[in-house]
Chain A
Amino acid sequence: AQSVTQLDSHVSVSEGTPVLLRCNYSSSYSPSLFWYVQHPNKGLQLLLKYTSAATLVKGINGFEAEFKKSETSFHLTKPSAHMSDAAEYFCVVSEGPKLIFGTGTRLQVFP
């Protein structure tokens, strides 16, 4: 079975500093991986997806993630945090048609 582990439940950064949200995956084959974002009282929005075409994946709002098979990681990064980035972020792995969600990382951005 596929699974993802988000290593931090909360991350706090200052506006303008880099963001790193960590995710490790477990998969018996080359996985499809995603990051979703959920702003307060909103639905979930796709940030980016990895499907083996390129190890560095660029998403919306300046986010990107790098697939590292040797480390079984798919960490999400952004060079400079903005106040509007404050939200819950979910790392997701595909298992057939189903998507298996991690427990989420809440990102706080301080002025």
Chain B
Amino acid sequence: DAGVIQSPRHEVTEMGQEVTLRCKPISGHDYLFWYRQTMMRGLELLIYFNNNVPIDDSGMPEDRFSAKMPNASFSTLKIQPSEPRDSAVYFCAIRDDVLTFGAGSRLTVL
């Protein structure tokens, strides 16, 4: 996990609130990915960036979800407004030769 720092590790919020998840890659990479993991749907790829540019966002479930990567050391995933079905663990991962995951952000929307 040392290659990718995610925050917050846990977040509990109420339906309708805005949620921002953060990802800080420590090591060098060309690609950055956002995944979501739930019991029902497993691991889903939401979006990925190449050299800070979004390449494929077809996995983003709705317009309520948005992701940015203003520089190589920082990315955010925002949900506005949040809904209970967004409850999941969100992982950020970077890829050079292999995919290295962060520890994840566990989101609970009440």
Residues of A within 8 A of B (CB): 34, 36, 42-46, 49, 90, 92, 97-101, 103-104
Contacts and interface: CB of A to CB of B under 8 A. Distances in A.
B98 A97 contact: no
Interface residues of B: mostly helix, strand, loop or mixed? strand
Contacts of A45: 101
Given A97-B50, A98-B45, A46 B104 contact: no
Given A44-B91, A44-B99, A97-B55, 14 more contacts: A42-B103, A43-B1, A43-B91, A43-B104, A46-B98, A46-B99, A49-B98, A90-B43, A92-B99, A97-B30, A97-B48, A99-B95, A101-B43, A103-B42
Given A34-B98, A97-B50, A98-B56, A43 B43 contact: no
A104 B98 contact: no
Interface residues of B, number: 21
Nearest to A32: B98
Contacts of B100: 46
B1 A97 contact: no
Contacts of A42: 103
Contacts of B42: 101, 103-104
Contacts of A36: 99
Contacts of A98: 33, 45, 48, 56
A8 to B, nearest CB: 15
A92 B33 CA distance: 15
